[in-house]
Structure 1
Amino acid sequence: MPVALGLNFHHDTSAALIVDGQLYAAEEERWSGLKHHRPHGQHKGVLTSPTASLAWCLEAAGIEPDQVDVVWAAGMRPHPVGGQWLATEHEELSALLPDPLGQRLRLMSHHTAHMLSGYLISGLGHAAGLVIDAGGSPLGADFGPGRERITGYDLRPGHIDRVHQTLPGLCAGPTGVERVHHSLGHFYRNMAHRVIPPGDEPEGSMMALAAYGDPARYRKPIGELIHLGDDGTVRITAPYGSVDSRTPLMAGGRAWTQAGVANVSLSERADFAAAVQEAFAAAVVHTARHLRRLTRATDLVFSGGCALNSHLNGTLAQDSGFDGLFIAPAPHDAGTAVGAALYGWHHHLGHDPLPAPADAGWGPVPGTLPLRDVPEGWKSLGELGDRLGPTVAGLLAGGSMVGWVQGPMEFGPRALGHRSILAHPGVADSRDRLNTIKRRAGYRPFAPAVLDTHLGDWFTGDADPFMNRVARIRPEHAADVPAVVHHDGTARVQTVTAGHTGLGGLLEEFRQQTGLPMLLNTSFNLKGTPILRTAAQAAQAAAGLGLDALAVGTTLLVADHGQHAAPARGWAA
């Protein structure tokens, strides 16, 4: 019984286990209740063990630690704590693990772990690989000293060839030689802090706001910050490719700073966001085109935090000359645990890659919902069995908002129909109501989950099962589903097969009742907290958010809105 374990101890702490080809994976935040599993103000150099997620993976698979054959983790070489290195990264990580896992731990490049979290479940043979994030590990800096920023790969079965890399550079500064960070991930976040007020998720909010803006207004000053080389390199004017968002940026006669967000109109911020999105996308496409020339591959695999930019992803293959694009199901840092486990499974133990998944339901089931957990003002309709789908579809058709908790928890930042809030996509008020109860900016869109057999009838362009790219709504249908169509006529589509354990049956029931083969699907969580894990958390959150109904397994609860719902707060782990 071959067993491979992958771990991530850094941002988005997580664990992934492969046993006889079965993948188990979960993020530590779902137990701690802390988004990204990082307490506010915690130093970036502090390493955290995926204690609860690792324990669940082992228990779910029925495995003891001494049965694990190989243990791999993505290295990051964090900043020193208190100004000094206390131990090597390997020593620190090994000490966080129980015996004998610590003794078996090996480290790999952060970017390679990102890459393999996509490639080894893509089903592709020869492909180009692209990883872009804020920063990676010096373990993969084959082209010189420094941490990974942008990395390109030539991927073939059994081979991982690094063929392109952008690293930090050095330049003369006022106090001597200074390091210049050419990080597109840092650039996007840096700019987002200048247009998105504190309290809102910066990158996703800026991407949404960009749809309302005109990039021409700030195209020149923003475009001049990024320099594209003939060899595929990306150079960013200091300090805008780093975490420094306090240094003013002059654009349009205004000094843009993080502290000055509240003094700028929404329309100006939208134009700034549109120019940033355009310049960012152009830089990614520039690098992808270079990889197309280097590798001569016809398919691209994209991963790293920047691969969460669904607007970019919607046209990346077409714009860069590739026939196909595969985006890792969880391209953010938590996905490196999956990539590390897949590396151990395939390259270390010598087994075939896992087949391409249609879902990322790799986590724990929610458990049952005892009567004592039914919120005040709610009532249980009991176990509905086969009647659950038609009943919930009827509630949704009538405009209700339903918490939907079914089967194994999703891995990654998107709710894919296992821990979701669902609503009617044709009711325009659904978007405004959801943005209000989730305390999100009103310009942020919601995504549709669509039966894959009907995708082409409603949208142009490609989509995937992981809600990682936008497609364009066919103009004749835009008015039919206003709650899931963004200002620019796009939607971040999740395709759903009929056999999908979370949504397949419900989508078909809803289609039969309304004629619409899709539902609005958003994550089931409170503002500032992770997607929830258990049935009890779901009941607490449904009441706190003021939803109309909650389905956990085949149990259905409905709310009496004559009662006062509890205020929305974080859920208890």
Structure 2
Amino acid sequence: MAVALGLNFHHDTSAALLVDGRLYAAEEERWSGLKHHRPHGRHKGVLTLPAASLDWCLNAAGIDPHQVDSVWAAGMRPTPAGGEWLATEHQELAALLPDPLGRRLRLMSHHTAHVLSGYLISGLDHAAGLVIDAGGSSLGLDFGTARERVTGFDLRPGHIERIHQAMPDLTPSPGGIERIHHSLGHFYRNMAHRVIPPGDEAEGSMMALAAYGDPARYRHAIGELIRHGDDGTIRITAPYGSADTRTPLPLGSRTWTQDSAGVVPLAERADLAASVQEAFAAAVVHIARHLRQLTGAPALVFSGGCALNSHLNGRLAEAAGFDEVFIAPAPHDAGTAVGAALYGWHHHLGHAPLPAPTDAGWGPLPGEVAYGDLPEGWHMLPDLDRQFTPAVAGLLSEGRILGWVQGPMEFGPRALGHRSILAHPGRAETRDRLNRIKQRASYRPFAPAVLATHAPSWFTGNGDPFMNRVTRVRSDRAAEVPGVVHHDGTARAQMVHAGHTGLEPLLQAFHQRTGVPMLLNTSFNLKGTPILRTAAQAAHAAAVLGLDALAVGTTLLISDSLAPSEPALERSA
């Protein structure tokens, strides 16, 4: 038996365990109920043991800590003045772990863990790797607190070569050496906080709003902030490539700050969002083209928080000259635990990489709904047995909105058909009701989950199994599914392949009933909280949100507001 453990102690705390080629992985936020597992006021750099997710991984696999052969984690602590940062962080992290895991812990670069979380499950041979985020591991004492921002790799089986690294500018100042950081991750977040009011997820909301804007309005001004170098470098005007969102941004006759996000008219904010999205995408493409020239690789593995930009991802391969782009289910920081486990499995223990997955159901099962969990005003239907899936498809075909909790929990930020809210994609009024239920801005789109075999009839490009890229909806089909088509005619399509236990049978039944091989699929959570984990949490959330029904395993819960004589249920009986 071979066992490799990967851990992330920083932002998006998580654990991943590989046992004889089977992957178990989960994020700590699903137990704590705090998004990113970061209590209010806690600094992002605070180290936290992923205690619950680690315990679950070990227990689910039936593994004792003494049976773990390899333990790896991504280092990320900035360099203290005059200190040996790696040794200090290693000691602190090791002390958080139970024996003997702490004694076996080794650290690797944050960006290496990011890129391997994709490459070692991509099924690719030779690939370029690109990691872009706000910041990663320290670059070393010569650069003080400077950290990884943009990193390029040449990747082959058993081989990791770092070939491109964004570096800070070191500029003399009255207070000493000033470091000007060129972080595209910070740039995008910096701009998002000037566009999106507090209370909404800033980066994702700005990406959605960009579809409504005209990038020409601020194209020149925003373009001037990011300069492209011949060697694939980028330079961002200070301080907009850093976390400093207090410095005003003058554009035309208006000054943009965090306070302006709540008062500037939506149309103006959409124009700025469009300009930022365009400039950001152009910078990433510029770097990716450079990596294509350096490596000659036919494929790109893209990771880091910026790889959650699904609008960019949909055009990155073609724009940068690659045949394909692979993006892991969790390119954000939680995925570094998977990358660390895969590194231990492949590079440390010498086993072959895992095959490319078509699902990311690597987490815990939800359990069953007990009668004590039944919310007031809800009832549980008798066991429907083989009629369960047709009954659910019938409810959805009638425009009902339903919670869907099936099998192992997804790893990553997207609900992929295991902890989802589902609805008919062909009903605009259902989409509008769901926006109210989830308290979302009306400009944010919902994503379709579509049977992969039927996708070419509905979409012109390639989606992926993890909702990580947008693709254009065929113009002659868009009117049939208005609930999942964004303002620019695109959709972030999840391709559901054969064997997806969470969604494929239901999609088949819905297709037979309606002729539509897809469903609107969004995350099952309350506003401001992570995607839920258990059946009991699902029952509570279904009642709070005002859903029509909840399906857990083969158990169907119905709101009393939905009459028992609902025609869809009668037809399925």
2:389 maps to amino acid: G
Which residue matches 1:397? 397
Cα distance between partner residues in 2 of 1:547 and 1:313: 32
Q: Secondary structure at the match of 1:301?
A: strand
Cα distance between partner residues in 1 of 2:462 and 2:372: 45
- 1:53-68 maps to which residues of 2 (within 5 A)? 53-68=53-68
Cα distance between partner residues in 2 of 1:142 and 1:478: 55
Q: 2:188, 2:280 within 8 Å by CA — same for their partners in 1?
A: yes
Question: Taking structure 1 as reference, are residues 360 and 483 closer, same or farther at Cα in structure 2, changes over 3 Å only?
Answer: same
Cα distance between partner residues in 2 of 1:221 and 1:178: 25
Cα distance between partner residues in 1 of 2:426 and 2:459: 15
Cα distance between partner residues in 1 of 2:45 and 2:302: 27
Q: 1:186, 1:242 within 8 Å by CA — same for their partners in 2?
A: yes
Q: Is 2:151 aligned against 1:147?
A: no
2:384 maps to amino acid: L
Which residue matches 1:200? 200
Which residue matches 1:446? 446
2:463 maps to amino acid: A
Which residue matches 1:566? none
Q: Secondary structure at the match of 2:73?
A: strand
Q: 2:75, 2:86 within 8 Å by CA — same for their partners in 1?
A: no
Which residue matches 2:495? 495
Shift of 1:431: 1.9
Which residue matches 1:32? 32
Which residue matches 1:159? 159
Q: Is 2:421 aligned against 1:415?
A: no
Shift of 1:208: 0.2
Cα distance between partner residues in 1 of 2:451 and 2:352: 30
Which residue matches 1:137? 137
Cα distance between partner residues in 2 of 1:270 and 1:171: 35
Cα distance between partner residues in 2 of 1:17 and 1:67: 12
Which residue matches 2:568? none
TM-score (norm 2): 0.96
Cα distance between partner residues in 1 of 2:164 and 2:145: 14
Which residue matches 2:567? none
Shift of 1:497: 1.2
Shift of 1:329: 1.3
Which residue matches 2:213? 213
Q: Is 2:305 aligned against 1:305?
A: yes
Question: Taking structure 1 as reference, are residues 144 and 227 closer, same or farther at Cα in structure 2, changes over 3 Å only?
Answer: farther
Q: 2:186, 2:243 within 8 Å by CA — same for their partners in 1?
A: yes
Q: Secondary structure at the match of 2:502?
A: coil
Which residue matches 2:569? none
Cα distance between partner residues in 2 of 1:47 and 1:455: 43
Cα distance between partner residues in 1 of 2:400 and 2:546: 11
1:387-434 Cα offsets, whole Å, 9 max, x none, are 111000000000000000000000000000000000000000122111
Q: 2:125, 2:156 within 8 Å by CA — same for their partners in 1?
A: yes
- 1:176-325 maps to which residues of 2 (within 5 A)? 176-325=176-325
2:380 maps to amino acid: S
1:114 maps to amino acid: H
Cα distance between partner residues in 1 of 2:140 and 2:500: 37
Q: Is 2:508 aligned against 1:527?
A: no
Q: 2:420, 2:521 within 8 Å by CA — same for their partners in 1?
A: yes
Question: Taking structure 1 as reference, are residues 72 and 142 closer, same or farther at Cα in structure 2, changes over 3 Å only?
Answer: farther
Q: 1:44, 1:78 within 8 Å by CA — same for their partners in 2?
A: no
Question: Taking structure 1 as reference, are residues 428 and 141 closer, same or farther at Cα in structure 2, changes over 3 Å only?
Answer: farther
- 1:551-566 maps to which residues of 2 (within 5 A)? 551-561=551-561
Cα distance between partner residues in 1 of 2:79 and 2:262: 32
Cα distance between partner residues in 1 of 2:309 and 2:155: 23
1:124-183 Cα offsets, whole Å, 9 max, x none, are 000101000000102689999831100001101110011001022222446443111100
Question: Taking structure 1 as reference, are residues 142 and 391 closer, same or farther at Cα in structure 2, changes over 3 Å only?
Answer: farther
1:21-70 Cα offsets, whole Å, 9 max, x none, are 00000000000000000001102231110000000000000000000001
Cα distance between partner residues in 2 of 1:34 and 1:155: 35
TM-score (norm 1): 0.96
Q: Secondary structure at the match of 2:59?
A: helix
Q: Is 2:170 aligned against 1:170?
A: yes
2:454 maps to amino acid: H
Question: Taking structure 1 as reference, are residues 423 and 466 closer, same or farther at Cα in structure 2, changes over 3 Å only?
Answer: same
Cα distance between partner residues in 1 of 2:562 and 2:356: 47
Q: Secondary structure at the match of 2:416?
A: coil
Shift of 1:386: 1.9
Shift of 1:232: 0.2
Which residue matches 1:571? none
Which residue matches 1:428? 428
Question: Taking structure 1 as reference, are residues 111 and 38 closer, same or farther at Cα in structure 2, changes over 3 Å only?
Answer: same
Which residue matches 1:567? none
Which residue matches 1:116? 116
Gaps of 5+ in 2: 564-573
Q: 2:228, 2:234 within 8 Å by CA — same for their partners in 1?
A: yes
Cα distance between partner residues in 1 of 2:19 and 2:459: 38
Q: 1:140, 1:148 within 8 Å by CA — same for their partners in 2?
A: no
Q: 1:74, 1:109 within 8 Å by CA — same for their partners in 2?
A: yes
Cα distance between partner residues in 2 of 1:375 and 1:313: 41
Q: 2:79, 2:141 within 8 Å by CA — same for their partners in 1?
A: no
Question: Taking structure 1 as reference, are residues 95 and 42 closer, same or farther at Cα in structure 2, changes over 3 Å only?
Answer: same
1:411-461 Cα offsets, whole Å, 9 max, x none, are 000000000000000000122111111111110000000000011000011
Q: Secondary structure at the match of 1:463?
A: coil
Q: Secondary structure at the match of 1:138?
A: coil
Q: 1:141, 1:148 within 8 Å by CA — same for their partners in 2?
A: no
Cα distance between partner residues in 1 of 2:45 and 2:145: 20
Question: Taking structure 1 as reference, are residues 273 and 5 closer, same or farther at Cα in structure 2, changes over 3 Å only?
Answer: same
Which residue matches 2:566? none
Q: 1:110, 1:139 within 8 Å by CA — same for their partners in 2?
A: no
Cα distance between partner residues in 2 of 1:435 and 1:368: 28
Cα distance between partner residues in 1 of 2:434 and 2:367: 26
Cα distance between partner residues in 1 of 2:145 and 2:191: 27
Shift of 1:385: 2.3
Q: 1:393, 1:506 within 8 Å by CA — same for their partners in 2?
A: yes
Q: 1:112, 1:140 within 8 Å by CA — same for their partners in 2?
A: no
Shift of 1:383: 2.4
The alignment of Structure 1 onto Structure 2 pairs a total of residues equal to: 562
Cα distance between partner residues in 1 of 2:416 and 2:116: 22
1:257 maps to amino acid: T
* Identical-pair percentage: 77
1:510-554 Cα offsets, whole Å, 9 max, x none, are 000000000000000001100000000000000000000000000
Q: Secondary structure at the match of 1:130?
A: strand
Question: Taking structure 1 as reference, are residues 141 and 80 closer, same or farther at Cα in structure 2, changes over 3 Å only?
Answer: closer
Cα distance between partner residues in 2 of 1:150 and 1:157: 22
Q: 2:14, 2:50 within 8 Å by CA — same for their partners in 1?
A: yes
1:445-495 Cα offsets, whole Å, 9 max, x none, are 000000000110000111110000000000000100000000000000000
1:64 maps to amino acid: D
Which residue matches 1:370? 370
Q: 1:426, 1:481 within 8 Å by CA — same for their partners in 2?
A: yes
Which residue matches 2:536? 536
Cα distance between partner residues in 1 of 2:519 and 2:267: 30
1:423 maps to amino acid: A
Cα distance between partner residues in 2 of 1:129 and 1:227: 22
Shift of 1:263: 2.0
Question: How much is the aligned-residue C-alpha RMSD, in angstroms?
Answer: 1.9
Cα distance between partner residues in 1 of 2:447 and 2:181: 34
Q: 2:80, 2:145 within 8 Å by CA — same for their partners in 1?
A: no
Shift of 1:80: 6.8
Question: Taking structure 1 as reference, are residues 169 and 198 closer, same or farther at Cα in structure 2, changes over 3 Å only?
Answer: same
Which residue matches 2:473? 473
2:28 maps to amino acid: E
- 1:372-391 maps to which residues of 2 (within 5 A)? 372-391=372-391
Question: Taking structure 1 as reference, are residues 350 and 562 closer, same or farther at Cα in structure 2, changes over 3 Å only?
Answer: closer
2:409 maps to amino acid: M
Q: Secondary structure at the match of 1:30?
A: helix
Q: Secondary structure at the match of 1:193?
A: helix
